[in-house]
Amino acid sequence: MTCVPTFQRAADLRHACRTGAFRRETAGQAPGALQANLMLLPREHAFDFLLFCQRNPKPCPLIEVVCDGGLEPRCAPGANLATDAPGYRVYRDGECVDERDDVASLWRSDMVSFLIGCSFSFDGALQAAGVALRHIELGRNVSMYRTNVACTPAGIFHGEMVVSMRPIKSRDVARAVELSARLPIAHGAPVHIGHPAALGVQDLGRPDYGDSVPVLDDEVPVFWACGVTPQWVAQCSRLPWCITHAPGRMFVTDLPG
Amino acid sequence: MTCVPTFQRAADLRHACRTGAFRRETAGQAPGALQANLMLLPREHAFDFLLFCQRNPKPCPLIEVVCDGGLEPRCAPGANLATDAPGYRVYRDGECVDERDDVASLWRSDMVSFLIGCSFSFDGALQAAGVALRHIELGRNVSMYRTNVACTPAGIFHGEMVVSMRPIKSRDVARAVELSARLPIAHGAPVHIGHPAALGVQDLGRPDYGDSVPVLDDEVPVFWACGVTPQWVAQCSRLPWCITHAPGRMFVTDLPG
């Protein structure tokens, strides 16, 4: 994760994940390509989770759903969902029990794969408009926090929203809102600006996921709904079994971001 | 269905449906309230249909899904989904086998109710902008046609898109596109403008649903994706059993349209 992406093309990045050559966060990679959070679970819980996404489109904007154990989404021809993200997590009864480079050996014929939009996709739009993004400048993963904002439950799924935070220069906050609002598939406009405590976030310096990124004096903390929400919701709901990507290590699609 | 609505408030219209006092098309009623197509089916087919909606957001923009036999949607407090539309249809193995005033006696504990946006909701926006809508002026139901445009299938559900057609003065076509595009929950921008044959529609004078509305010399036929699509898809898919609203006789919500 640097200012200069290692891979320009999404297909090349996916191939590097498959061969083990790329095992890092994907922020800034394959500029212009839509990045996706992954939630992979058995058909038994697929209706409830699809409904959860429908009811919570800010944290869970759906790009695509692949049924019946399919491995190749339409948004990434030639890809393999079981091998082409840089890292995976396996959850059992809501707890993360394993981190893996690929999940091919765990694949099921009734797997339903949910590809959910990612805020990394608007980072490029913000940078192109001259909005500084310090996590990218610092070479760090974005900061992510659990909040006290309850998602709308659906079946067995319930829990609070996870947010990503970017420190934005106060002069650029309105522009950051306008630009991200145009990209609902990448979580759209921020869910909160300015007061972490209003979200139940007590210490910005200690994110629940990702890296710490200090907020400078002339900056405002801006919070977007985050695609890690399903992982926290799986924990809250004690979901019997699922696979996700590792936070920050996304599946990169061929769709324009 | 006249230029002067019988009911200003959605709750009053729903009550009149429940008591049997209102048994007509809902175009123009409860101005400013979001109207909904209904698709009511057993849990067994709910995942496939929810995925069908996710994959076909133009004909099937989801307003809300009510699970577990619930009768009162959040978008219409106090309402009863089994009695508060002006008419219902019962489909068995894809064929319409019954038209009913209410479906309370057919309700199931595993019913999943899908409320899908309706183009009637942007009629008001078009009229407010001075765009003439002749089906309302003529006191007729909108014209609806089956097309040759395949929806993206999902599980058992497959079939072609149904469209509604409004004759629009050629000088107003661009404005009609702009205004409806702002309302994705009401099917958004048109799917086609100008050439019915390109959609497989051979005779505008013989709609598959609703009433005929002649296209005048200075008008262009403009086609929007239509919430009757699920009824045609249920037929194509030979869905074992479902209930819908009667075409043109919508469930009216309390949401702003």
Domain-embedded: residue B38: yes
What local confidence, expressed as pLDDT, does residue A116 receive?
97
Residues A74 and A169 in one domain: no
CA–CA dist B114, B65 (Å, integer): 5
pLDDT value for B23: 93
A88 and A65 in a single domain? The answer is: yes
Name the residue in chain A with its Cα closest to that of B53.
A54
Are B97 and B38 part of one and the same domain?
A: yes
DSSP B59-96: T--EEEEE-TT----TTSTT--TTTSSS-EEEEETTEE
Provide mean pLDDT across the span A211-231. 95
Residue-averaged pLDDT of chain A: 94
Quick one: closest CA in A to B114, which residue?
A51
Shared-domain flag, residues B22 and B98: yes
**Are residues A41 and A95 both part of a single domain?**
yes
- Report pLDDT digits (tens) over B163-193: 999 999 999 999 999 999 999 999 999 999 9
**Contact state of A62 with B50 under an 8 Å Cβ cutoff:** no
- Would you say B178 and B131 are in contact if contact means Cβ atoms under 8 Å apart? no
pLDDT tens-digit profile of B37-75?
A: 999 999 999 999 999 999 999 999 999 999 999 999 999
pLDDT band at A204 (very low <50, low <70, confident <90, very high): very high
**CATH code for the domain in which residue A175 is found:** 3.30.2040.10
Measure in Å the smallest separation between the Cα of A2 and chain B Cα atoms. 35
pLDDT reported for residue A27:
84
Q: Does A51 contact B at CB distance below 8 Å?
A: yes
CB-CB neighbours of B227 under 10 Å: 31
The answer to whether residue A4 sits within a structural domain is no
Q: Give yes or no: residues A249 and A177 share one domain.
A: no
Q: Examine the domain organization and report whether A64 and A85 are in the same domain.
A: yes
Q: What is the mean pLDDT of residues A178-198?
A: 94
Residue B125 in any domain: the answer is yes
A236 touches chain B (CB under 8 A): no
Residues B132 and B102 placed together within one structural domain of the fold:
no
Domain range for A202 is 120-230
CB contact under 8 Å between B54 and A62, yes or no, is yes
pLDDT band for A177, please (50, 70, 90 cuts).
Answer: very high
Cα B25 to chain centroid, rounded: 11
Residue A121 pLDDT: 79
Decide which of A6 and A36 is more confident: A36
Subunit contact A155:B67, Cβ cutoff 8 A:
yes
Number of domains in chain A: 2
Query: A165 in a domain, yes or no?
Result: yes
> Is residue A3, in this structure, part of any structural domain at all?
no
- pTM for the model stands at 0.89
For the segment A54-76, the average pLDDT, to the nearest whole number, is 97
**For position A33, which CATH number holds?**
3.40.1640.10
User: Are B109 and B68 within 8 A, CB to CB?
Assistant: yes
* For residue B1, pLDDT beyond 70: no
Taking alpha carbons only, the member of B255, B256, B252 closest to residue B79 is: B252
Q: What is the nearest CA distance from B47 to chain A, expressed in angstroms?
A: 5
Q: Are A65 and B46 inside 8 Å of each other by CB?
A: no
Q: B101 pLDDT exceeds 90?
A: yes
Q: What is the mean pLDDT of residues A173-183?
A: 94
Interface A–B counts its CB contacts (< 8 A) at 27
**Distance (Å, whole) CA B229 – CA B227:** 5
Local confidence band at B4 (pLDDT 50, 70, 90 cut-offs) = low
Reported confidence tier of residue B239, pLDDT bands at 50, 70, 90 = very high
pLDDT for position A1: 39
Domain shared by A114 and A167, yes or no:
no
The two structure tokens encoding residue B238: 């030979």
Query: How high is the pLDDT of residue A2?
Result: 43
DSSP string of chain A, one letter each residue = --SS-S-SSHHHHHHHHHHTS--S--TTSSTTEEEEEEEEEEGGGHHHHHHHHHH-TTT--EEEEE-TT----TTSTT--TTTSSS-EEEEETTEEEEEES--GGG--TTEEEEEEE-THHHHHHHHHTT---HHHHTT-PPEEEEEEEEPPPBTTB--EEEEEEEEEEGGGHHHHHHHHHT-GGGT-S-SEES-GGGGT---TTS-SBS---PPPTTEEEEEEE-TTHHHHHHHHTT-SEEEEEPTT-PEEEEEE-
Per-residue pLDDT at B2 exceeds 50? no
Name which of A257, A184, A244 is nearest A10 in CA terms: A257
Residue B30 clears pLDDT 70, i.e. is over it: yes
Asked if A243 and A215 sit in the same domain, the reply is no
> In DSSP terms, which residues pair with A117 in a beta bridge?
A36
Count CA atoms closer than 13 A to A175's CA, side-chain side. 14
Model pLDDT, residue B231: 92
Binned at pLDDT 50, 70 and 90, residue B121 comes out as: confident
Contact B247, B119 (CB under 8 A): no
The pLDDT, as a whole number, for residue A11 is: 97
Q: What pLDDT is recorded for position A4?
A: 63
pLDDT of B155: 96
Measure CA B142 to chain center. 10
Q: Which residue has the higher pLDDT, B121 or B158?
A: B158
Assess whether A126 and A47 both reside in one domain: no
Question: CA-to-CA distance for A255 and A127, rounded, in angstroms?
Answer: 19
Residues B148 and B175 reside in one and the same domain: yes
Over residues B204-211, the mean pLDDT reads 95
Chain B nearest-CA distance from A213, in A, is: 36
Q: A120 vs A59, which has greater pLDDT?
A: A59
Backbone dihedral angles phi then psi of residue B62, each to the nearest 5 degrees? -80, 125
Is residue A100 in a domain? Answer: yes
> Is residue B61 within 8 Å of B184, Cβ to Cβ?
yes
Structure confidence at residue A71 as a pLDDT band (50, 70, 90): very high
Provide mean pLDDT across the span B236-242: 97
Average pLDDT over residues B201-225: 96
Tell me: pLDDT of B79 over 80.
yes
In a domain, B5, yes or no: no
* Cross-chain Cβ contact B51/A43 below 8 Å: no
The reported pLDDT for the residue numbered A141 is 87
Integer Cα distance of A117 and A104 in angstroms: 23
Residue A5 included in any domain: no
Put simply, whether A156 touches B (Cβ < 8 Å) is no
What CA–CA distances, in Å, run from A43 to A19, A40, A197, B150, B196? Answer: 29, 10, 38, 26, 40
- Rounded to whole angstroms, the Cα distance separating A218 from B107 reads 59
